Structure 1
């Protein structure tokens, strides 16, 4: 059987690939510290698990409307009002099998062949492939740590053509952990208005910011853009529910109906009892989120300070998420103990996994080959051991 061209061109997710390799090594008894995984190390909070168990005991295992459980759509509106002060109706919400599916479905619904989408680099690994699978063209806008990974607005606008349809924003950012400033978001909003673009605002890490401020996105600075913005979020990161696969998209009702139609011909509804658990997550006690956020902030500061003390490394202080982006490029060109040359982020990540037993993700997967991404969704003692292994492995490069 012949595979389709789109699948032959599709690259596997770098983050999932590294995570799978690390887990395979651990399954063989190899002591690997996995700093590649993009999921909290905390258990799903008890009251959320309890809601799922109660739903199962009541036999809540049947089909639901493809657009989602009405109770959960209302809970999403409640959370948006609480966190952002935004008023949405349940009719403007669709429940998906994770935030990733929401973004995938949006690309399918909004893009025709050759349509262009602006993606700010560094970016989450799946944005470009998702655009390409919809027949679109990802247009990368570069940035650097010296400007908090906010590209120059003139660079953003310079990449707009007659085929540009929209832009994807992610703040706090995977992989950098940085938060876009209100000035930058305002500048992007002006560009969006001038050119009539839509915006996908990926807010999956919005509750995991370390500055004590409430969540913000482009609608926080430009509420008049509501008709051009689709908000994407889910329960995976803030509530340690990665495996539950519940996300959502919120936006103009016409778009939501299109997404529901698409979902009706693909996955149908997201898992019924998991949607009940998500209701408990969004409307129940939020202490669990605050507790995890405090732990991540402490780990972020430790990892930033520790890596800053290793010669040649240039870590970027995380402002949110549970990721740290670190420039390792001063070690490129050096030799391993077996005589191999470290050429790039891929070869360095491979060396650190094989030699140091620490799994990281190559920065090239996120659009910047100078960096590696390290997840600090591990306890402090584990992170301390990981830093020692990294330091030892790097010291053996000549």
Structure 2
């Protein structure tokens, strides 16, 4: 990435940034972003447009000249709407002054890490994991400590809490939990959430919970449990979220953080110095999404369920593929056995030869090598088309049966 920059400039650039790996998902997507013949399953966004009533709210706000600087922490009306949204879906009473509106989920994670990490502090993270979160820990001077998931031959994914706890050192500051998980679709059992809460309370550790995909669950009634249901207002808990997934607002760049009681001024300060806040007309649209968008979420989840079932059933019949049926999110993570090239090169070949855009498993850390991830937040008919293209390609990759281990 930096080999085209003159050496004199490279020496003056941040060493942390120079050492960051390129995002492999973007590397694949950039090869064919504008190729209409490609079925795009690489990036984590649905194929539906933002609902009309949400767009109309933004246009109305623009027509009213709602384009000035506003509260750094977010409009009071939006923070109140967030409080009511959490009460409605998780039966928790979170006061509006414990919310901070952010520039998408990525900015929410950024400020969460900025708020709690000093140089050299360690954050434990189950892996494979969302690469942006892994890199943000290092950008702010922290140290990412990977704790691999356990993958079984029968397609189950689990996290051994004893292995997680054994990784804690005197430099550990936080444990990062993304449940339901990108890319694996793993969902943390409620009893494990309680056990983790007690462990972190005893040792004074932070839990940073990325709960972006809580509505996207399939094997029972949603939404997925939130750490807000078992932690109090004084617990060391930071919950990050975004408007991107639930309401198809990826390009709007709006999200939020929930923080412990009394940290509002700290997060207001972080907003002031990071972004100066989210555009007011976007925040007006977010209020409408929260208040009027529950039915859209329900419809989108059912649509994802249908596409998930098509892809899981179709790929599971392949002898050289192990499918990990997701308990949540809108991602399908699967292992292709017997590959003679990296998952990145495999993803590029699938793009060229099958015209399907997938994410390489190695984008989510070395633990993801030999895996691929596809986003199924798509029309079920498009899922069938993707399956028709992928199946013969994957079957021809190797004649090797499932290996002895995954």
Alignment match, 1:373: 373
Within 5 Å, which residues of 2 pair with 1:182-261? 182-210=190-218, 211-220=220-229, 222-224=230-232, 226-261=234-269
**Distance in 2, Cα, partners of 1:252 & 1:218:** 12
Q: Equivalent of 2:85, from 66, 79, 90?
A: 79
Report matched runs for 1:252-271 at 5 Å. Answer: 252-271=260-279
1:274 aligns with 2:282: yes
Residues 101, 255 of structure 2: 8 Å contact kept: yes
Find 1:140's aligned residue among 143, 146, 159.
146
Secondary structure, aligned partner of 1:232: strand
Query: TM-score, normalising length from structure 2?
Result: 0.90
Task: Name 1:161's counterpart in structure 2.
Answer: 169
User: Any conservation in 2 of the 1:22–1:34 contact (CA below 8 Å)?
Assistant: no
CA distance in 1, matches of 2:352, 2:40: 12
**Residue equivalent to 1:129:** 135
Task: Confirm or deny: 8 A CA contact 1:150 1:184 kept in the other structure.
Answer: no
2:342 is aligned with 1:332: no
Is residue 4 of structure 1 aligned with residue 10 of structure 2? no
Gap change, CA 1:150 and 1:397, over 3 Å in 2: closer
Cα shift at 1:223:
2.7
- Separation of aligned partners in 2, 1:243 and 1:356: 28
Residue 337 of structure 1 corresponds to none
How many equivalent pairs are there?
A: 383
Deviations 1:189-221 (A, max 9, x none): 22212211111111111112122233312233x
Distance in 2, matches of 1:21 and 1:257, equals 43
Partner of 1:303 in structure 2?
A: 311
CA contact under 8 A between 1:72 and 1:278: conserved in structure 2?
A: yes
* 2:385 counterpart residue number: 385
Question: Structure 1: 5+ residue runs without aligned partners?
Answer: 334-342
Displacement of 1:384? 1.6
Contact 1:297 1:320 in 2 (8 A): no
Partners in 2 of 1:316 and 1:154 — Cα distance?
Answer: 23
State how far apart, in whole Å, the 1-side matches of 2:246 and 2:139 are. Answer: 28
Among 25, 30, 38, the residue aligned to 1:32: 38
Q: 2: CA distance between counterparts of 1:105 and 1:21? A: 31
Q: Secondary structure at the match of 1:119?
A: strand
Q: What value does the CA root-mean-square deviation take over the aligned residues? A: 1.7
2:3 corresponding residue in structure 1: none
Structure 2 residue 53 is the aligned partner of structure 1 residue 44: no
Q: Which residue of structure 1 aligns with residue 121 of structure 2?
A: 115
* Deviation, structure 1 residue 370: 2.9
Unpaired stretches in structure 2, ≥5 consecutive residues? 1-8, 399-406
TM-score, normalised to structure 1, is: 0.92
Shift of residue 226, structure 1, vs aligned partner = 4.9
Provide closer, same or farther for how the CA distance between residues 285 and 99 of structure 1 changes in structure 2, counting only shifts above 3 A.
closer
Task: Tell me, yes or no, if the aligned pair for 2:125 and 2:147 is still in contact at 8 Å.
Answer: yes
Is the contact made by 2:57 and 2:284 (CA closer than 8 Å) also made in structure 1? Answer: yes
